[in-house]
Amino acid sequence: MDEMTVKALAKINIGLDVTGVREDGYHLVRMIMQTVHMYDLVTVSKSAEAGISMTSNAKYLPTNEDNLCIKAAKLLADEFSITDGTQIRLSKRIPVAAGMAGGSSDAAAVLYGMNRIHGLGLTKKELMERGVKIGADVPYCLMRGTALAEGIGEELTELPQMMRCPVLIAKPPISVSTKYVYEHLDAIEDPVHPDIDAMIADITAGDLHALGSHMGNILEDVTIQKYPVIAQIKELMRQNGAVVSMMSGSGPTVFGFFDDEETLQRAKRAVEASGLANRVQCTTIYNNRR
């Protein structure tokens, strides 16, 4: 096989707690991760010409070593002294710097695709060990589905599949730096810790409303302090029938879970009409693992 196209799926954090800080400044987390059916397409091909190169439909993204796709390819090419060339084509659809792990998922897709086309024979676990060197969310992007993430996000435990429900995604027209958000969390007094164990019990019981009542993201207050529009979008979704609405990751994307498609569509129209978000999209929970 000389070429492979891989779906790089986006994630949302349905629960995010921080329990400590490592000596290197990285935060220890307890998060519940969930894949949603929104994806970039990453095509990885082998070429006779040595070296790594990429093209992308997103003109605003770098195509040099600052792109996580190139970082991922280089990591494997160096370690395994790959002499064939690697070409990457990225078709970007996940909002960038949005809290949906778009870049991390692209990197995961490159690791997965290169392992196949160059016949490296690495297991999923071995790919994950390399993935964390690129970003804390990369190992999870290799795994997918419903998972508990601990450590800095790389210690993963599979959870029972989250119930399928309609999901609304809305991103305000701002970019948020993950580093900024984690750093500023340290200055918040008595942050509210979500009950991750209660959430796991709700997922196991398949009770969406109970899950909604326990969901929380400790990073929300930091990002909302800087960008109050996030709180406005959350509120608008709630007023329009969302079971729960929350910020994903370090933000600024807000997602809402709904009981039915009709309510979801009503909320979508309300968010669009408000002009608070530049990307408003319906999606679903995606549970297939790699």
Ligand X SMILES: C[C@](O)(CO)[C@H](O)COP(=O)(O)OP(=O)(O)OC[C@H]1O[C@@H](n2ccc(N)nc2=O)[C@H](O)[C@@H]1O
Ligand Y SMILES: Nc1ncnc2c1ncn2[C@@H]1O[C@H](COP(=O)(O)OP(=O)(O)OP(=O)(O)O)[C@@H](O)[C@H]1O
Longest dimension (CA), the chain: 57
Q: Does 68 bind ligand Y (CB under 6 A)?
A: yes
Mapping DSSP to helix (H, G, I), strand (E, B) and coil, where does residue 44 land? strand
* Residue 137 annotated to the active site: yes
- The item of ligand X, ligand Y, none sharing an interface with residue 252, based on CB under 5 to 8 Å by kind, is none
Query: Which residues, 73 to 132, sit near ligand X by CB under 6 A?
Result: 101, 104
Which run of H or E residues covers position 183? Answer: helix 178-185
Binds ligand Y by CB under 6 A, chosen from 29, 61, 148, 219: 61
CB atoms within 10 A of CB 205: 12
**Is 178 among the residues that bind ligand Y (CB under 6 A)?**
yes
As measured in angstroms, the least distance from the Cβ of 48 to ligand X is 33
Burial zone of 149 (CB within 10 Å; 0-12 exposed, 13-18 middle, 19+ buried): buried
> Helix 229-239 and helix 261-274: axis angle, to 10°?
140
The one among 3, 4, 7, 26 contacting ligand X by CB under 6 A: 26
Using the rule CB under 6 A, which residue among 6, 34, 106, 246 binds ligand Y?
A: 106
Which of 136/168 has CB closer to ligand Y?
A: 136
Nearer CB in complex with ligand Y: 175/288: 175
- To the query of whether residue 268 is one of the catalytic residues in this protein, the response is no
Extract the tokens encoding 255.
């997602």
Residue pointed to by tokens 């040099």: 64
- Give the span between the Cα atoms of 202 and 212, in whole angstroms: 9
Tell me: does residue 179 bind ligand X (CB under 6 A): yes
Q: How far is the CB of 148 from ligand X (least distance, A)?
A: 12
Cα distance between residue 74 and residue 85, in whole Å: 11
Residue 179 or residue 193: which is nearer to ligand X going by CB? 179
Of the two residues 102 and 216, which places its CB atom closer to ligand Y in the complex?
102
User: b/e per residue, 87-102, with b = 16+ CB within 10 A?
Assistant: bbbbebebbebbbbbb
Give the distance, in angstroms, between the CA of residue 25 and the centroid of all CA atoms in the same chain: 21
Q: How far is the CB of 74 from ligand Y (least distance, A)?
A: 13
In our burial notation (b when 16+ CB lie closer than 10 A, e otherwise), range 233-261 reads bbebbeebbbbbbbbbbbbbbbbbbbeee
Q: How far is the CB of 265 from ligand X (least distance, A)?
A: 28
- Is 101 assigned a ligand-binding role in the annotation? yes
Q: Which of 17, 106, 137, 202 is catalytic?
A: 137
Regarding 31 and contact with ligand X (CB under 6 A), the answer is yes
Beta strands in 99-174 (DSSP E): 147-150, 155-158, 166-171
Cis peptide before 252 (omega within 30 of 0): yes
Say whether 105 counts as a known binding-site residue: yes
Q: What does 114 interact with, of ligand Y, ligand X, none (CB < 5 to 8 A by kind)?
A: none
In whole angstroms, give the CA distance from residue 48 to residue 54.
Answer: 15
Does 96 sit near ligand Y (CB under 6 A)? Answer: yes
The yes or no reply on residue 99 touching ligand Y (CB under 6 A) is: yes
Residues of the shown chain interacting with ligand X in the complex, contacts defined by CB under 6 A: 13, 25-27, 29, 31, 101, 104, 135-137, 152-153, 178-179, 182, 249-250
**Where in the sequence numbering do the catalytic residues fall?**
11, 137
Q: Which residue numbers belong to the known binding site?
A: 95-105
Q: Which residue numbers belong to the known binding site for ATP?
A: 95-105
